[in-house]
Amino acid sequence: MLRVDLHTHSSVSDGTDTPTQLVHKAQASGLDVIGLTDHDTFDGIDEATEAGKRIGLTVVPGVEISCERNGASVHLLGFWCDRWHRGLGDELRKSRAGRTGRIEAMAERLTELGMPLTSDDIRRAAKASPSVGRPHVADAMVAKGYVANRNEAFDLWLADDKPGYVHRYAIPLELAIDLVHAAHGVAVLAHPWGRGRAHVLPADYIGDLVTDHGLDGIEVDHEDHDDDTRELLFRLGARLGLVRTGSSDYHGLGKEGHELGCNLTRASAFRELQRVARGRGARV
């Protein structure tokens, strides 16, 4: 049985394992295939791919794109994209710049809230990541002793509706899907109804994304989806002709309860994604 986990993160974005460490942990967890989907960057793909070749584990090149709909944050997974596609690359750079640009504002906001923090504190937490984001702010807060872990930081201070949040540029979701397709990749909505956010991406709107923009898939089995949500999304995906995936959204120590392989993509769904990618001219 092919064991496929299509949504993982390395230290190139906000995970805690290097791409090589991630690949070795994936093999130790009994996985055959992982998708490396760091936030708004492809920078870890080459290292992970080479590590996979050495030990016989397949790495699907991917990216998790920071998007927005009506001002709300949503995420899109892109697989097998041409990493040198100009349009997609330009938008990912804008998104990364938006991440970096709000770091100082978030540090100032948290300082005003009684938790002194500097942009340098956050950059130290991010280490060499080219995609600095809220998880690194959370890590800086943990280092200062303000919160116990990332989850507490987000639940109390950093989530979209919490006092420490600062808005940033994110790619309009429809444009992101179009750019993934222009780069010969396949586009899959990431954890669309997680954490009570079904109102942001309602079923009729997801249907419009399929009709008007050719959305390819939807992440169904994810730790942020309870059993009822998974059932609803599975049926919705079937009705709309979407490939239905599952994954861990693994971040190493940076995200509790998302262990490698805790959710899997069916082998038949993985092969269907490959077929779609080949049809677009991707190198699969």
pLDDT of residue 271: 98
**Residue 281 CA neighbour count, 13 Å, CB half:** 6
Q: Which residues pair with 172 in a beta bridge?
A: 68
Domains of the chain in sequence order: 4-95+171-279 (3.20.20.140), 103-158 (1.10.150.650)
pLDDT of residue 196: 84
pLDDT of residue 198: 95
Task: Write out the chain's pLDDT in tens, 284 residues.
Answer: 899 999 999 999 999 999 999 999 999 999 999 999 999 999 999 999 999 999 999 999 999 999 999 989 999 999 999 999 999 999 999 999 888 788 889 999 999 999 999 999 998 998 878 878 898 999 999 999 999 999 899 999 998 889 999 988 999 999 999 999 999 999 999 999 998 889 999 999 999 999 999 999 999 999 999 999 999 999 999 999 999 999 999 999 878 889 999 999 999 999 999 999 999 999 99
pLDDT of residue 39: 95
Q: What's the token pair of residue 62?
A: 């991917």
| Per-residue 3-state assignment (H helix, E strand, C coil) for 14-64 | CCCCCHHHHHHHHHHCCCCEEEECCECCCCCHHHHHHHHHHHCCEEEEEEE
pTM assigned to the model: 0.90
pLDDT of residue 127: 85
Residues 6 or more apart in contact with residue 86 via CB below 8 angstroms: none
- 165/156 Cα distance (integer angstroms): 10
pLDDT of residue 227: 97
CA triplet 258, 17, 138: central angle to 5 degrees?
Answer: 70
End-to-end CA distance of the chain: 20
